[in-house]
Amino acid sequence: MTVTGKPAITGLYHVGLHAKDPSQMAAFYRDIIGMQIVSNVDDPMARMVFLSSRPSEEAHELVFTSNPELAHIAFKVETLADLRAFYQHIVEKGLPIEAAFNHGASLAFYFRDLESNLIEIYWPTDLASKQPDSYPLDLTLPETAIRESMAELAAHQPDGRPHITP
């Protein structure tokens, strides 16, 4: 939170781009830029490839998706309280929330800007998970309830880490 009491982002942290061939684009960014491919997904909704230049710090920094509706810009917040405050701020501004998910590695919600570009606001959980794992998330719940659901999710995985399949 800022000194004004309004939620604040800590920066732009990943971008999802539409690609006709996500695997080919990922190979280009791997071979030319030096990024690491951290996950490949072939889902009925979209083919996606996730890349990171520092996978031990960020689950992904770049995503290529065959579905243009999933292209997005992601902004990171520092705390779960900030994420919940940003969510409330967006709701109060009258912008429709498209979705909210527990991605394992992060909690996030999505809305669109004035030109219909998808925006993700997320908070990293420090839990490891494969991407693009997703469980529905209710950010109107108290923070303690959200944290309890995160712990429950992690506890039900064979290795103690969320592996959430969309």
Beta bridge partners of 106: 124
In this prediction the pTM is: 0.80
Diameter of the chain measured on Cα atoms:
45
pLDDT tens-digit map of 94-123: 999 999 998 877 899 999 999 899 999 999
Q: What is the CA radius of gyration of the chain?
A: 16
Domain ranges of the chain: 9-155
Tell me the pLDDT tens digit for each residue of 5-33.
678 888 888 999 999 999 999 999 999 99
Q: How far is CA 138 from CA 66, 99, 144, 145, in A?
A: 28, 9, 12, 10
Going by pLDDT thresholds of 50, 70 and 90, the confidence category of residue 162 is very low
The DSSP result for 92-134, as a single string, is HTTPPEEEEEE-SSEEEEEEE-TT--EEEEEEE-S----TT--
With bands split at pLDDT 50, 70 and 90, how would you rate the model's confidence at 166?
A: very low
* Phi-psi category of residue 123: left, alpha or beta, with phi > 0 → left and psi -120 to 50 → alpha: beta
User: What CATH number should be reported for the domain whose range is 9-155?
Assistant: 3.10.180.10
